[in-house]
């Protein structure tokens, strides 16, 4: 290859590389904002149980509707990716994985609340009270970070801060999870009727801890977008 042709090739590769990580379809930002907002709404409904546990059934139904709306957004994202020929397969995979993980946060909250309807408790179980504010804060951090994707040059520092905080919250959730698993697995059952309740509560703790894992995964993908300069 001649020197002039080599220089042209390098310039072309540089341009294509920059184009790869600049947003082509701004509609994705709208989809992401909607999905992140629904994650916050789901976390707020989980928090609402603290003061309005008697409305457990109604809140569970609200979460079911919310989860369905989130699934619809994910479906729209996948459809748009299918017809988007400006992105390489790896980029499409990142976007799809991001959308599914954010949807899993909503799904996890709904699943935990459904399990609560299986119990006979009249007040919100203490483990849920401890997880709820952490999940809500993580959802709000993710919402802020997602909005930063619209202008990475100006908002990169904010996005990084949100991702770091989300990872810190996940570590807090791990501590809560370990504490309650130890208590649930080692504290003697006073009567046989408590055994089923304890099994359900153990599952709820697992679900909420996994929900925070999903939040961390979302933050990690946002960091990937940051490293690439956008989506």
User: pLDDT tens, 61-99?
Assistant: 999 999 999 999 999 888 877 766 555 556 776 788 899
If pLDDT is split at 50, 70 and 90, which confidence band does 226 have?
Answer: confident
**CATH number assigned to the domain covering 24-228:** 1.20.58.220
Closest-CA residue to 141 (of 161, 171, 116, 119): 161
Q: What digits encode the pLDDT tens for the residues 146-172?
A: 999 888 777 889 999 999 999 999 999
Task: Copy the structure tokens of residue 221.
Answer: 């993908």
Q: What digits encode the pLDDT tens for the residues 24-55?
A: 456 778 999 999 999 999 999 999 999 999 99
What is the residue whose two structure tokens read 């933050």?
A: 219
Residues 6+ apart with CB under 8 A from 214: 101, 102, 104, 105, 108
Q: What digits encode the pLDDT tens for the residues 101-158?
A: 999 999 999 999 999 999 888 899 999 999 999 999 999 999 999 999 888 777 889 9
Query: C-alpha 6: how far from its chain's center?
Result: 44
Q: How many residues does the chain have?
A: 231
Q: What digits encode the pLDDT tens for the residues 166-197?
A: 999 999 999 999 999 999 888 887 787 788 88
Q: Domains of the chain: which residue ranges?
A: 24-228
Task: Copy the structure tokens of residue 10.
Answer: 């390098």
Task: Copy the structure tokens of residue 173.
Answer: 């959730």
Question: Cβ distance 108 to 170 under 8 Å?
Answer: no
């Amino acid at each position: 290859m001649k020197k002039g042709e080599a220089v042209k090739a390098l310039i072309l590769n540089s341009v294509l590389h920059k184009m790869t990580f600049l947003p082509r379809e701004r509609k994705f930002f709208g989809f992401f904002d909607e999905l992140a907002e629904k994650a916050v709404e789901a976390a707020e409904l989980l928090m609402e149980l603290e003061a309005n546990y008697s409305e457990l059934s109604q809140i569970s139904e609200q979460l079911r509707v919310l989860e369905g709306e989130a699934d619809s957004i994910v479906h729209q994202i996948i459809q748009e990716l299918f017809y988007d020929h400006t992105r390489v397969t790896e980029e499409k995979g990142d976007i799809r994985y991001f959308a599914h993980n954010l949807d899993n946060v909503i799904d996890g909250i709904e699943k935990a609340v459904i399990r609560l309807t299986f119990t006979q408790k009249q007040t919100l179980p203490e483990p849920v009270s401890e997880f709820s504010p952490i999940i809500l804060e993580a959802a709000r951090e993710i919402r802020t970070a997602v909005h930063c994707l619209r202008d990475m040059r100006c908002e990169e520092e904010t996005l990084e801060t949100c991702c770091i905080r989300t990872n810190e919250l996940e570590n807090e959730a791990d501590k809560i999870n370990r504490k309650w698993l130890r208590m649930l697995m080692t504290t003697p059952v006073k009567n046989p009727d408590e055994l089923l309740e304890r099994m359900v509560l153990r599952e709820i703790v697992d679900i909420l801890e996994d929900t925070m894992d999903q939040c961390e995964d979302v933050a990690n993908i946002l960091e990937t977008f940051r490293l690439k300069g956008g989506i």
